[in-house]
Structure 1
Amino acid sequence: MITGVHNERKCLNCSLVQKMREEQSIAAEPVLALSCLCEEQVICPAVFSISLTKRNRPANQNRKPMKSSHQEQIDRILEKLSQVRAQGLSCFGSDQHHFELNPPIQERLLLEFENEYRVRLPDEFRAFLLYAGNGGAGPYYGIAPLPIIRSKILDWPFEEPFEKVLDLPCPLYFRMKQASDWESEFGKTDPYQGTMYIGTQGCSYYMLLIVTGEFRGRVVYVNDDDGSTPFITHEPDFLTWYERWLDELLAGYKIFWFGMGVGGTEEELLAKLKNPTTSDLDRAEALRAYWRFPKISEESKALIPTFLSEPDLEIKASACRMIRTFELRTAEEPVGELLSAPTAELRREAIWTLMQFNPQRWSEKVSRLLYDDDQDVTETAFQTLKQAKALSRTRLLQLLNEPPNEGVLYMATYTIEWLSEDLELLLRLLEHRNDTIRFYATLGLRKIKALEAIPIVIPLLETDVDPLVRGSILHMLGELDSRQSRETLLNWTEKGDDDARLDAVDGLCKLGDERVIPVARQMLQETRSPVSYDANGRPCGGNINSIGYLVDQSLQESPNKALRKLSSKPGF
């Protein structure tokens, strides 16, 4: 993290800073680690943290008493945070907030927010902001202060403005089933109405708080990149969720994916598992929750394998996973029977477990599942056999010639050590509909130095829509010298997009062809970064260096002295 004095004149987020000063969330001259855009602060925009020692905090100016239950919980939370700091503990994201809370917010400012958006925040979250801190320490990258929460209004991705949806009832519910089309059940209702951003888990993962509806007060985990089903946490309110995080930290539990499942100590989970009135769903979740523990008791070790005989398939799968997690090898035989289980999830869990325990013993049986009806099962079988070095070249060739599905074909194309005798197979793979398979086929041709394939791959530069395939072919031409290679590369220094031009220049530099000099001189003057496109022709992230810099690198590495002289390091 970069820290320094905030430059309000250059920062586009300075309005947030001013708002936080009004709310007494920061001192007059703070040292910030801020997601701002001024020259002094260039850090991940997902991060916003302010570390203030307790002695620098203004006194809490909120005089209204809390509910006694909230008071007790806030006191416990502050004490446990102090213990975490004293013990020098760490977890994912703690380098951003250092387990420090910002000063509490003034109640009048919280009321202004609630009046503006016509909603009263859940009592437990209000108590946290008013009496613990206006953001700061918390799970993952911490809890956002109210000005950052407010700023997310500007990022609201849906048609309705934020202020028109925050007070509508949230339709999300506990234990939603994972499905690619999960949003369809809500029809025209926005599934995220009645929710409010409270923090980031990194990348495209966020934490929301449900502020309206049946599950008001619960925290929700969402991924706005892959469209996966939101996960509503088990805890009924924010403070209970937050305190669980501290309890698990202090207990030494695995904390990376905190909150993704039911909480509880081993003793509590044991009691739930042994209770005959516990539902199958609750037992399956209790079993999965064991993964958090660094070690378990002998009683649990003896109990977990017994659930393999349960009729409920979710319970079986959860038990199998914990057998693998804690290496309960006495259960190897009953796990082996699950290779023919009726569900793909069970077969996959069995494969992972058996190949971890004894790959030599189980490789042959797992190999049969390479042709399972379920693609996820076939890919799991392939991955574990590959890790165990149990995939012979003969087996890989069989999978390439008679693939069970595209997933296994892709992995086999990537894994096999190609030989010159495989030329015909590689040329056949060049015609496959899958972009990635065609790309790895070009890598195979380059690996075996298939000069005879040059006349075949050159026409693909005009017809293949995938930029990775075209780029690999251009690299191939720069590695396999021929008259056709040179002429084609020279042609593509002018006709292709930025990436193709750069690949063509690089290829000619590798071949030492001095006809590239006029083009190279011109491109050395280009100061912009190359624009890259995906297979659909849409711009996508590319190299951050300038075109001139990249051409200079190619010139430096040329075997031709005349070309090296054009570079910034001619003696390199």
Structure 2
Amino acid sequence: MHQFNEQIDRIRTKLIVAKEKDKELKAFGASYHKYIFHKPLEEKTLLDFETRYKISLPACYKAFLLHLGNGGQSHAGAAAGPFYGIYPLGGCVDELTTEPATYLSEPVTIYPGMTADHWQELINDAEKDERTNEEYEAAIGNIYAGILPIGSQGCSYLHGLVLNGEHAGKVVNVDTDRQQPKFAFEDNFLDWYERWLDEIISGELLTDDPSWFGYTMGGTVTVLLDKYHTTTDQLTKYECIRAILAIRRLDPEIGVLLEKEYLHADAAYKREWLQVLTKFNYPVAKPHLLTYSATDLLAVVQFVWWYAKNKSGDWLEVIASNLPRITDDETFRFCTYLLVEAKMDYGPLIAPATNHENEKIRVTAFYTLGKLENKEDYLDTFINGLNDPVNYVIHAALQALSGVKDKKMLPAYKKILERFPTEQDYILSNLEHRLTEMGFTIRDLKNWND
């Protein structure tokens, strides 16, 4: 462990600087751990833990426990660290498996670069209907074998430590609801922990929102660009771009540099670079977004919505010209987000989509019409929707009619009552809401004559 002495000293110093930098405890989880450590672990306690579970803890993690501290006052007694901190040794050891004494010492089965298909195969195998509870727990234990839980990220997410194999000492982000694990990019626990301190000190992590620290590469834009240009591995290139995208703020002059990256990028990376450019310099990105909309309209409307929704009005012409040809419900949905944000009467653009062959588009169209202040101008469109063959479209049309008290709707409402003598898909409950707004009841409607 002597090889970590210098790094431990750096971390000890950076902890003091980080605590001073984050006096207001803005970093996610800091209000829980408060940068507090309890005293370091006795070596005998550490050895007893290793003996009990028949494991050998990675030297980097041992150095942390023996020379910095073991636990603190955060969730589950965790010490200062990413998210809600670092558990004391053995804390929440059963978060990934009900039998840690069996599976912590087993060979690790997950690894960096594991494909989504392979992960899904593991989960599908574990969740076979014919498995007994014992067989299921054993299958889950094998999936997470050799992974020690070391801290909570909130909800079902945690960080774990790889105990054996080629990647021993690396940190892995795990979701107990079975999303695919994501390995941190640092070589070992101490490098990961020191990066966290560096990003506290730089201000990058000083936000109340979850930062998803450790899910992307660390480093400055310059470092990440250098790695992007020197690697020949496609996945590494994508990860470099994702890491730049994850940075919260960049100097405006970087926008020129990012535009060059977009212009000179291979086709495989164009979309990712355009997303980065839109986030950090929308004015520079705008002409490129216009051009790219002919290739991938969904990407363009998503980027504008995520990073420049206050510029939604810039895209009315593009949306108007494309809307009649859109067949993908997600593309249509993001277009409607921009139309609503633009605060204009988009009814003439959206109303035709209530007859679209894609029922999901019809649902979104009615939902969007329902947001208009002048939606009573489209009562005939809503009446048509109440006769739709798909229940969920009717449901959407009924909800969109909230606040409309025009008695012109009563004949259409009575047809619904005749079509649905019993409740289906919350149609009658929504009909009752609309009638209540008009001072009517279901009984009144049954007795009502045109």
Superposition TM-score tier, normalisation by shorter sequence: 0.7 to 0.9
The answer to whether residue 430 in structure 2 is matched with residue 472 in structure 1 is yes
The verdict on how the C-alpha distance between 1:112 and 1:276 changes in structure 2, with shifts beyond 3 A counting, is: closer
Select 1:183's aligned residue among 120, 134, 137.
120
Q: 1:367 Cα shift?
A: 4.2
2:190 aligns with: 239
The amino acid across from 1:234 in the alignment is: F
Secondary structure of the 2:218 match is coil
The verdict on how the C-alpha distance between 1:368 and 1:126 changes in structure 2, with shifts beyond 3 A counting, is: farther
Aligned length: 406
Rounded to whole Å, the distance in 2 between the matches of 1:178 and 1:289 is 20
1:568 aligns with: none
Q: 1:328 Cα shift?
A: 5.2
2:104 aligns with: 166
The verdict on how the C-alpha distance between 1:422 and 1:353 changes in structure 2, with shifts beyond 3 A counting, is: closer
Rounded to whole Å, the distance in 2 between the matches of 1:486 and 1:330 is 60
Rounded to whole Å, the distance in 1 between the matches of 2:440 and 2:114 is 60
1:25 aligns with: none
Rounded to whole Å, the distance in 2 between the matches of 1:150 and 1:287 is 35
Post-superposition CA distance 1:58-79 (Å, at most 9, x none): xxxxxxxxx2332222221121
1:69 aligns with: 3
Q: Which moved more, 1:443-452 or 1:203-212?
A: 443-452
Answer yes or no: is the 8 Å Cα contact 1:207–1:222 preserved in 2: yes
The answer to whether residue 422 in structure 2 is matched with residue 462 in structure 1 is yes
Select 1:110's aligned residue among 41, 46, 53.
46
Rounded to whole Å, the distance in 1 between the matches of 2:445 and 2:336 is 42
Rounded to whole Å, the distance in 2 between the matches of 1:105 and 1:82 is 20
Q: 1:90 Cα shift?
A: 2.6
Answer yes or no: is the 8 Å Cα contact 1:369–1:377 preserved in 2: no
Q: 1:433 Cα shift?
A: 4.6
The verdict on how the C-alpha distance between 1:403 and 1:201 changes in structure 2, with shifts beyond 3 A counting, is: farther
Bigger helix share: 2
TM-score (ref. length: structure 1): 0.63
Secondary structure of the 1:146 match is coil
Select 1:412's aligned residue among 349, 365, 368.
365
Select 1:152's aligned residue among 60, 76, 95.
95
1:441 aligns with: 397
2:380 aligns with: 421
Q: 1:97 Cα shift?
A: 0.6
1:319 aligns with: 273
The verdict on how the C-alpha distance between 1:133 and 1:460 changes in structure 2, with shifts beyond 3 A counting, is: farther
The answer to whether residue 66 in structure 2 is matched with residue 130 in structure 1 is yes
Select 1:215's aligned residue among 142, 149, 167.
167
Answer yes or no: is the 8 Å Cα contact 1:323–1:329 preserved in 2: no
Matches within 5 A, 1:14-413: 67-87=1-21, 88=23, 90-135=26-71, 136-150=79-93, 152=95, 156=97, 161-178=99-116, 182-184=119-121, 190-225=142-177, 227-254=178-205, 256-273=211-228, 275-277=229-231, 279-291=233-245, 292-296=247-251, 298=253, 300-310=254-264, 312-327=266-281, 329-341=283-295, 346-347=299-300, 352=305, 356=309, 359-370=312-323, 371-372=325-326, 374-389=328-343, 392-402=346-356, 404=358, 406=360, 408-413=361-366
Secondary structure of the 2:284 match is helix
The amino acid across from 2:155 in the alignment is: C
Rounded to whole Å, the distance in 1 between the matches of 2:283 and 2:356 is 35
Rounded to whole Å, the distance in 1 between the matches of 2:239 and 2:17 is 30
Answer yes or no: is the 8 Å Cα contact 2:58–2:168 preserved in 1: yes
Secondary structure of the 2:293 match is helix
Answer yes or no: is the 8 Å Cα contact 1:369–1:378 preserved in 2: no
Q: 1:205 Cα shift?
A: 2.1
1:526 aligns with: none
Answer yes or no: is the 8 Å Cα contact 2:304–2:311 preserved in 1: no
Matches within 5 A, 1:547-566: none
Rounded to whole Å, the distance in 2 between the matches of 1:131 and 1:196 is 20
Q: 1:380 Cα shift?
A: 2.7
Answer yes or no: is the 8 Å Cα contact 1:366–1:381 preserved in 2: yes
Structure whose CA Rg is larger: 1
Answer yes or no: is the 8 Å Cα contact 1:288–1:321 preserved in 2: no
The verdict on how the C-alpha distance between 1:127 and 1:313 changes in structure 2, with shifts beyond 3 A counting, is: farther
Tell me: higher relative CO, structure 1 or 2? Use CA pairs within 8 A at least 6 residues apart.
Answer: 2
TM-score (ref. length: structure 2): 0.78
Identical-pair percentage: 28
Rounded to whole Å, the distance in 2 between the matches of 1:169 and 1:118 is 12
Post-superposition CA distance 1:81-115 (Å, at most 9, x none): 11122231530111101111222222222222222
Pairwise CA RMSD of aligned residues?
3.3
Rounded to whole Å, the distance in 2 between the matches of 1:361 and 1:475 is 37
The verdict on how the C-alpha distance between 1:325 and 1:249 changes in structure 2, with shifts beyond 3 A counting, is: same
Answer yes or no: is the 8 Å Cα contact 1:439–1:469 preserved in 2: yes
Unaligned runs of at least 5 residues, structure 2: 72-78, 127-138
Q: 1:392 Cα shift?
A: 0.9
Rounded to whole Å, the distance in 2 between the matches of 1:373 and 1:212 is 49
Q: 1:286 Cα shift?
A: 2.3
Secondary structure of the 1:462 match is coil
Answer yes or no: is the 8 Å Cα contact 1:124–1:238 preserved in 2: yes
The amino acid across from 2:443 in the alignment is: S
The verdict on how the C-alpha distance between 1:244 and 1:461 changes in structure 2, with shifts beyond 3 A counting, is: farther
The verdict on how the C-alpha distance between 1:148 and 1:360 changes in structure 2, with shifts beyond 3 A counting, is: same
